[in-house]
Amino acid sequence: MNPKPFKPAIGLSNPHLQTILSGAGRKLFSSKPVKEFIGSAQQHTVEIDNVHLCFELNIQPNRPLVVLIPGWLGSSQSTYVVSCAHALWQAGYCVARITLRDHGSTAHLNQSLFHSAVIDEVIELVDILAEDHGELGVGLAGFSLGGNFALRLAKARPKLAVLAVCPAIEPADTMYRIDRSAIYQAYFVRKWRDLWRQKQQAFPAHYDFSEAMKLTTVSAITDYFVTRHLPFPSTHAYFSAYDLSGDSLQGVDAHILAAKDDPIIPPQQYQGLPSTISVDLTQHGGHSAFLKNWWLESWLDDYIVSHFQHHLSEIPEPSATVQ
């Protein structure tokens, strides 16, 4: 049921080029139908256990639902999330794009801080979406850290059809790999600083991140974050809370798509996972990119549609009015 094997265009196989163009480059290629799709989405904010979470919803009648979870410091507006959502919408699915707490432009919504070990609020949000729009089946796809969330949700809610794209299985290893690259390190440090500036501006009586702004590595900022703001005795304990290696996913039924040349999450992280989790490794693709041509179209869009066509109930062809 999968699309043709991934084969990037000549000159587009470099994993760093794939990864960087997938984020920054694809913003320049947003088409009119994609912009109309974004504009037609229903924007929602829900309160779950005193936490406000946002999501965007594109509904069409009598269709299964696919929920998408972006990666760390991404949002419902991230290019790869929108691209996959639009492809699923065109294929006839209802699509919900979640924004995790503090991600995107939502830092002002909650005084409490997001951290990657949280899961209950995301489970409850998916439950709400499933109850309201999942009568014909619910699929879930997560990207990078969102893939880690998706796999934990697969454990908590076995009836979900779950696809994890380049999921972070061993978060400590992922952090160190980010810090070994000047490009990725600078990107994530900048994004994290931006988040904390927003948080401090929204809640000046509660937060002062001036010391964190002086730190220049993801590992140093993580240590600061854990020791000052999280209920974990150490950074090691924090990572252990959402590390999915070993038998953490025993009995979980899910599917992973990843690339052997991923510069952030190497294929070794997928070794030793339970046999109930299938892993599809491509030779190229970078980190959640899989760009197939110089128009920066992603093979991931084809893959995710094909995956849910196989794992969710069959649906009729979308009407001609779907854009």
Instruction: Quote the pLDDT of residue 29.
Output: 67
Element (DSSP H or E) covering residue 65: strand 65-69
The tokens describing 146, both together, are 């969102």
- CATH top-level class of 1-168+249-323: alpha beta
The tokens describing 170, both together, are 């061993």
pLDDT tens column, 176-230: 999 999 999 999 999 999 999 999 999 999 999 999 999 999 999 999 999 999 9
Partners of residue 97 on adjacent β-strands: 56, 68
Q: Output helix, strand, coil percentages for the chain, rounded to the nearest 5.
A: 40, 15, 45
Instruction: Quote the pLDDT of residue 175.
Output: 96
Instruction: Quote the pLDDT of residue 323.
Output: 38
pLDDT tens column, 129-171: 999 999 999 999 999 999 999 999 999 999 999 999 999 999 9
Q: Is the pLDDT of residue 319 over 60?
A: no
pTM of the full structure = 0.94
| Contact partners, residue 24, CB within 8 Å, separation at least 6 | none
Q: Counting Cβ atoms within 10 Å, is residue 253 exposed (0-12), middle (13-18) or buried (19+)?
A: middle
Mean pLDDT across the chain, nearest whole number? 93
The tokens describing 286, both together, are 């970078």
Instruction: Quote the pLDDT of residue 32.
Output: 84
Instruction: Quote the pLDDT of residue 313.
Output: 67
pLDDT tens column, 73-98: 999 999 999 999 999 999 999 999 99
The tokens describing 138, both together, are 């619910």
**pLDDT interval class at 34 (50, 70, 90):** confident
The tokens describing 288, both together, are 């959640």
DSSP single-letter state for residue 97: E
CA atoms of 291 and 274, how far apart (whole Å): 29
* Distance in angstroms between the alpha carbons of the first and the last residue of the chain: 24
Residue that has been written with the tokens 């209802």 in this structure:
94
Rounded to the nearest angstrom, the gap between the alpha carbon of residue 77 and the centroid of all alpha carbons in its chain is 11
Element (DSSP H or E) covering residue 85: helix 79-90
Q: Is the pLDDT of residue 111 over 70?
A: yes
**pLDDT interval class at 19 (50, 70, 90):** very high
Instruction: Quote the pLDDT of residue 76.
Output: 95
- Domains of the chain, by residue range, sit at 1-168+249-323, 171-242
Partners of residue 162 on adjacent β-strands: 140
The tokens describing 75, both together, are 């949002």
Instruction: Report which residue type is found at 161.
Output: A
Instruction: Quote the pLDDT of residue 28.
Output: 64
CA atoms of 76 and 58, how far apart (whole Å): 12
Partners of residue 44 on adjacent β-strands: 55
99, 45 contact by CB (below 8 A): no
CA atoms of 189 and 119, how far apart (whole Å): 23
Partners of residue 282 on adjacent β-strands: 259
CA atoms of 26 and 61, how far apart (whole Å): 30
DSSP 146-161: HHHHHHHHHHH-TTSE
Express as a percent the part of the chain with pLDDT over 90: 89
Instruction: Quote the pLDDT of residue 125.
Output: 98
The tokens describing 59, both together, are 């509904």
The tokens describing 43, both together, are 């924007």
